[in-house]
Amino acid sequence: MTEEKGDKPLTKLILLGTGTPNAEPSRSGPAAAVVVGEQPYVVDFGPGVVRRAVAAGLDPKRLTRAFLTHLHSDHTAGYPDLILTPWTLEREEPLEVYGPPGLRAMTERVLAAYEADIKERLGGLEPANETGWRVEAHDVDPGVVYEDENVAVEAFDVDHGSWRAYGYKFQAADRVVVISSDTAPTEIMVEKSRGCDILVHEVYSAAGFETLPPTWQKYHAAVHTSSRELAAVASRAEPKLLVLYHQLLWGVSYDELVAEVKESYGGEVVSGRDLDVF
């Protein structure tokens, strides 16, 4: 990434979807876009990702760069949408996607599943270009996985069960944005988000957690981050803004969840909603 002279590009974060596996009508599946100038960089592709991108004012033809945190279905069910819908809307540039091991194999299977659709669009009467459906999928290791004139993107390991999961740090000329993935609290999250402009982090309600049966408590305590644990992470990292994301409430309101975090964290905290812009 190179910093241009004169006006710096304006970097913004758009929450395209803030949902969880729960089928909440007001929240699409997990997806965010770090937008530098006119170029969006999508993180995760939950259900409804392209329609949410259009609702946010993004040009679907510019949906050409994406980063996957992990392979869970709620974060990937919109993958065919991200591949194929912008192509039908005249995207010509192949989609470039970066993520943990398994992404490339998933990509091959998605394209195989839609082989008949692709063949019909290319060979039938519908006008379709030859390139916009293609995907360059990269299984990557932690480190800087992508860089262009707008941004450098670093992947780092987080803790979300037995498979590989990544958080991402976006460094643009004017802002630093860190997106956590689904994860238990980790030391590396403190390190990578220290002093950043925006930290987008998953969270579950500590109060709501007490209402769960023991089997679900065991799972969530092992692979997700409670409101109290997130407050501890943020207190050490000191982001300028903490955005709650992938919020598991279990009977608690969104405002009450924010209050749980603020019980022991004094920084600015907001509850992320679909189409919020920061």
List the domain range (segments joined by +) for residue 56: 1-172
pLDDT in tens, 70-79: 999 999 999 9
User: What is the average pLDDT score of the chain?
Assistant: 95
Write down the pTM of the prediction.
0.94
Q: Which residue has the tokens 């659709």?
A: 117
pLDDT at 8: 55
Average pLDDT over residues 195-217: 97
> 95 and 18 share a domain?
yes
Instruction: Provide the pLDDT confidence category of residue 9 given band limits of 50, 70 and 90.
Output: low
> 247 and 195 share a domain?
yes
CATH of the domain at 3: 3.60.15.10
pLDDT at 45: 97
Instruction: Provide the pLDDT confidence category of residue 53 given band limits of 50, 70 and 90.
Output: very high
% residues pLDDT > 90 (the chain): 92
pLDDT at 126: 87
Average pLDDT over residues 223-247: 97
> 80 and 107 share a domain?
yes
